[in-house]
Chain A
Amino acid sequence: MKSLEELRRIRQDAKAQVNIRTEKDGARIVVGMATCGIASGARPVMKALLDENKRRSLDSVRITQTGCIGACKLEPIIEVYTRGGEKTTYVEMTEEKARKVINEHIVNGRIISEYTIGAYEK
């Protein structure tokens, strides 16, 4: 170790790895990962969410998984719980859409209504 900068570079990378273990007070994103969800591609969606989250250093956001949300034909489904406790359900997710949810909904606070379950039902 020849400089403090070197140490800090190691820290930055390492921090992203362990960030999951600290208490989060921000939004919570839940990915439906039952058989139906995984079969229709929930895993890449989850990875995209994790990756986008890291890229933007959104430390307070918690990404987790759940079982079958119920509407299997609309999988992959993700649910966003904001700090106030409001829930938004997004359906037929893709990696690209997932990234957009982080950018628009989490960062800018704008719900992307065309991806929501409400839009689908119309």
Chain B
Amino acid sequence: MDLSRSHVMVCGGTGCVSSSSMKIMDRFNELLAENDMDREIKVVKTGCFGLCEAGPIVVIYPEGAFYSQIKVEDVDRIVSEHLVKGRMVKDLLYKGSVEGEVIKSINDVGFYKKQQRVTLRNCGVINPEVIEEYVAYDGYEALGKVLTEMSPEEVIQIIKDSGLRGRGGGGFPSGLKWEFTAKAEGDQKYVACNADEGDPGAFMDRSILEGDPHVIIEAMAIAGYAVGADMGYVYIRAEYPIAVNRLQIAIDQAREKGLLGRDIFGTGFNFDMEIRLGAGAFVCGEETALINSIEGKRGMPRPRPPFPAHKGIWNKPTSLNNVETYANVPQIILKGADWFAGIGTEKSKGTKVFALGGKIQNTGLLEVPMGTTLKEVIYDVGGGIPNGKAFKAVQTGGPSGGCIPAAHIDTPIDYDNLIELGSMMGSGGMIVMDEDNCMVDIARFFLDFTVEESCGKCTPCREGTKRMLDILDDISEGKGTPEDLDMLENLADTIKSASLCGLGQTAPNPVLSTLHYFRNEYEAHVNEKKCPAGSCQALTNYFITEDCKGCTLCKKACPVDAIEGERKEMHVVDTVKCIKCGACVDKCPFKAIIKK
């Protein structure tokens, strides 16, 4: 094979693909062929770089030049300048990588500097559809080591010693889970991978499957060896077509190379795996509902015990882990339990991937050691809050988690600290909120989601969450009473203790945590019929201040003629007629219209 002098890495993650990165890749190939350089420069489709805000992303090696927000038209210049003449196209480079005359490599950009990429190590580095590239970065070495040098008990011991805990939400020690399954009695055992990522805003599992699918195959085979299973199932939602496709390609390649199948590495160990597609119900991320769904039944939870380790898929002992958990396993095997246990805090080891979204500069995916503070994640990696607004709170853990207010921004992130603050790790979604976000509205948003997604099997969850949502709707429309707040807490208590599965048990968390930290906001809605953040439409009105110059632009923009006033005189909004569409605010050149 020819050696290339340069590699053009084009992001093939869902985010960049949806902003036409595949067309960008085609254009590169086309132009390189035209310039007769297609034999010396290789265009590589790769996984998510994490800085989705700056997508579509193209990185060119050996320089590590980091091009961001590339359009198809820009490719011509990158080829003719950078690739033909060796001059980087400065105005297309990511802004954070250019400092005066100095151009920094992608690894020196602020967003990446504080990160430690363990599970995302291959995302943006390899082509996920070529097994050799995974092998080049130590791929399948851990599986080889486990099969040829270690006993199943030793494998379980090293995972236990590493302190790895489940990354899907609960944080249960993974080694223990494996041990339970290994010790359970059964002629047939299974391993399964939970890739039913349902939290709104979380997309780390998708990115790992899209950027590094072989790591899941390798880790599941290792788990299979440890617990005594020869079959694995990956449960993944059909809404992730790219991830499904790449995982299937990876499985086919692994079979072809004999890394799945019979007598792997000549050791007599057999292992194969299959993909099971989910239809995207949130509750199917709950382990027993997921198992039902794999079996072809309706996705509803079963009572526990028996736990899946004893009675899982087809009532056989099953070890079920999340994608991100699996992605840690091969490296723990290769680098040792001590290496992994050396990262993180006392009870939360290793790194964690977070999907950062909301009011944040660098929307995207990042991986930091456990124990990194919220402040470091939001300001150092996330780049802070845009438009000079003040940070108000961060929501972690999705619909099962809670809001953490600015006062706790110095908290080191780990499983236990987040629970103490009334939130949870969840799968690692992090939604940042600024002063314009109303906390009642946020709680309503998440509750609305759980009401939709409740499977309906048990009453507290099905009925209780609906009643809570009704109350929140009333509050945000100014129809709430002080007693409603007590009622909310009362309902929350019942739902938490009487629901069958994790969905119901955690559904009230967004309401409880906002009630705890932002009770004054709820009280303002209830007592004064005001929304302090100016977000609840029914409770806010538009006013024109003395800055008005009487230009009449707002009057013309108003669709319901609710603005009165003569030219060069101060205008007035008729709050009865006003439908609060905000069209006037956008038009006013003097910023004289305010929401109150």
Contact = CB atoms under 8 A, between A and B. Distances in A.
B136 interface: yes
Most interface-central of A20, A21, A34 (chain B CB within 10 A): A21
Size category of the binding interface on chain A: 20 to 34
B82 to A, nearest CB: 10
A114 interface: no
Contacts of B1: 13, 17
A17 B125 CA distance: 12
B62 A64 contact: yes
Contact of A67 (B86, B141, B266): B86
Interface stretch (A42-50, A86-94, A101-109): A42-50
A11 B257 CA distance: 13
B383 to A, nearest CB: 23
B6 interface: yes
A21 B87 contact: no
A24 B86 contact: no
B518 interface: no
Interface string A25-44: 00000100110000000010
A17 to B, nearest CB: 7
Most interface-central of A1, A10, A50 (chain B CB within 10 A): A1
Contacts of A64: 5-6, 62-63, 86
A89 to B, nearest CB: 16
Nearest to A46: B5
Contact of A23 (B84, B105, B144, B148): B105
Contacts of B87: 66-67
A61 B125 CA distance: 19
Contact of A4 (B61, B125, B126, B144): B144
A10 B135 contact: yes
B132 A63 contact: no
Size category of the binding interface on chain B: 35 or more
Contacts of B86: 30, 33, 64-67
Nearest to A68: B85
A63 B264 CA distance: 39
A17 B265 CA distance: 24
B135 A17 contact: no
B3 A10 contact: no
A31 to B, nearest CB: 8
Interface in B112-139: 125-126, 132-133, 135-139
A56 interface: no
B537 interface: no
A1 B5 contact: no
B144 A18 contact: no
A11 B138 CA distance: 8
Most interface-central of B1, B9, B135, B258 (chain A CB within 10 A): B135
B452 to A, nearest CB: 43
B133 A18 contact: yes
Dominant SS among interface residues on chain B: loop
Given A46-B5, A67-B87, A4 B133 contact: no
A96 interface: no
B258 A1 contact: yes
Contacts of A34: 85
A116 B64 CA distance: 29
A24 B148 contact: no
Interface in B204-220: none
Contacts of A16: 3
B135 A4 contact: no
Interface string B254-270: 00011100011110000
Contacts of B27: none
A62 interface: yes
A17 B63 contact: no
B140 interface: yes
Contact of B107 (A7, A23, A68): A23
A11 B135 contact: yes
B132 A20 contact: no
A20 B7 contact: yes
A73 interface: no
A67 B89 CA distance: 13
A7 B148 CA distance: 13
Contact of A20 (B4, B133, B141): B4
B346 interface: no
Contact of A2 (B5, B139, B266): B266
Given A7-B144, A46-B40, A21 B61 contact: yes
Most interface-central of A20, A34, A62, A63 (chain B CB within 10 A): A20
A23 B66 CA distance: 14
A37 B153 CA distance: 62
A4 B266 CA distance: 9
B136 A17 contact: yes
Interface of B: 1, 3-7, 9, 40, 61-64, 84-87, 105, 107, 125-126, 132-133, 135-141, 144, 148, 257-259, 263-266
Given A7-B141, A33-B84, A46-B5, 10 more contacts: A2-B266, A11-B135, A13-B132, A18-B126, A21-B61, A47-B3, A50-B3, A62-B62, A66-B86, A67-B86
Interface of A: 1-4, 7, 10-11, 13-18, 20-21, 23-24, 30, 33-34, 43, 46-47, 50-51, 54, 62-68
22 contacts: A1-B259, A1-B264, A2-B258, A2-B266, A3-B266, A11-B138, A13-B1, A14-B135, A15-B136, A17-B136, A18-B7, A18-B136, A20-B7, A21-B9, A21-B62, A23-B107, A34-B85, A50-B5, A54-B3, A62-B62, A66-B87, A67-B86
A-B pairs with lowest CB-CB distance, top 5: A14-B136, A1-B258, A14-B132, A66-B86, A67-B85
